[in-house]
Homo-oligomer: A and B are copies of this chain.
């Protein structure tokens, strides 16, 4: 850097530099070279996927491991592509947690399928930024239709389907966190305007200071965060023995708050909580929200994908009361990250919360009701052509293939649950409804913390914990697309072995 700043070039020497740099440009990767390298990368990816089982699922690097493996500055002159590729195994892979290994059982799944990868390659090449209809009509229109396709797979109420005349419709957000935030902001604005219509003398800031939002004490941290960002007080509604909210609990807390002069404005229900995959009772909660004119948002980030199966669809009953609904096909529907699908009953509620139209973003068709400018539906302005991934995946699997995929994971979770139940030393800590099994050794939290530490240190499988009713609990989430019964059996065998060692040491 110094060099460049000791003697800043004059326009002339910059012009020379331009010529000098032509030799650099001469080696810029062109289409011919990309054909070769791209095909090598396709094979690299296929090899990685085919052999991922042999890789250690959880890395054993120490914090800061990577910095010393590469230079401290970018090279002045280009490296060769071969150097770059060599470094994938030398620098990157040792520090990768392999989310798509069949021995990965942590968090919740993140989706991966070949059709999604192919679509993403195409999306990267088209490289359009679909913030408005005109910025790339196909990008916007395919998204609207794919959200309708998926909405119909879930049998969403007609209000959520855009069609050609609907007032509602869907959008792809980057994450459930953004969807929750966008819903909370729309709720905030709707309530403020409603109150200002009656009492124009009040200020927006004063009204917002009285608004209150609700969610479960089991809800994802991003819900609390949305309240923090939107400046809306967030109350945690206590859950029942199934870790779910029922109508009574919400009604009670709303009454308290109204007595205290607060204004109930937003409720975020969770279908499939992160700790234990519990389901709030939205058939009880929905009517309360509607009666209070509170916005009801449903976050089904993980569980939502299962609702394409008729046997799981009843878990979504009550959706008809909701204003907005979100789940992540990038978790469990084979569409690679990021693809978080959100539907609203009244698109005007979202748009109203954000709309601003500078001249450089205006276009001829803007006034037409048919035209969607998705930038008004989200936090960022720019957006990738993400609906291509949905289109490829839905067509290459078909609804039946997707349903079968969900059912396989549920079946594997049940298989794991049964093995746990058959070992008297263990207990199941929450109902197993979908692909998550919460379990623990009967005994102290310390005992279970030690077991988990040893499991993750052994690095043959990867799990994360949760807290349920004061208990330290292990979460076993079926994650990888390629997970089979044999992997689950190996995992359970390994868990039992480490448990036996541990209990032996402790003199049980």
Contact = CB atoms under 8 A, between A and B. Distances in A.
Given A5-B155, A229-B379, A379-B178, A145 B70 contact: yes
B382 A338 contact: yes
B25 A401 contact: yes
Interface string A25-56: 10111111111011101111110111000000
Given A75-B395, A360-B466, A138 B95 contact: yes
Contacts of A356: 221, 224-225
Interface of A is mostly: helix
A295 interface: no
B79 A398 contact: yes
Contact of A63 (B228, B370, B379, B405): B370
Contacts of A246: none
Contact of A209 (B91, B203, B368): B203
Interface in A76-117: 76-79, 81, 83-84, 88, 91-100, 107, 110-117
A66 B203 CA distance: 45
A174 B378 CA distance: 12
A309 B18 CA distance: 11
A421 interface: no
Given A43-B35, A125-B117, A274-B360, A64 B164 contact: yes
B45 A370 contact: no
A408 B337 CA distance: 35
A35 to B, nearest CB: 5
Interface stretch (A126-134, A264-272, A493-501): A126-134
A478 to B, nearest CB: 14
Given A41-B118, A97-B136, A152-B74, A49 B31 contact: yes
Interface stretch (A6-14, A319-327, A425-433): A6-14
A142 interface: yes
Interface in A232-279: 274-275
A507 interface: no
A117 B91 CA distance: 19
Interface residues of A, number: 181
Nearest to A61: B137
A49 B1 CA distance: 34
Interface in A59-73: 59, 61-67, 70, 72-73
B358 A138 contact: no
Nearest to A365: B63
Contacts of A112: 125, 127
17 contacts: A5-B313, A21-B407, A22-B404, A25-B401, A25-B408, A34-B46, A44-B122, A45-B125, A63-B365, A74-B149, A84-B391, A84-B396, A94-B138, A107-B360, A121-B121, A121-B124, A337-B382
Given A31-B114, A78-B401, 10 more contacts: A5-B155, A8-B310, A14-B311, A34-B117, A63-B141, A95-B137, A107-B360, A127-B337, A205-B231, A221-B358
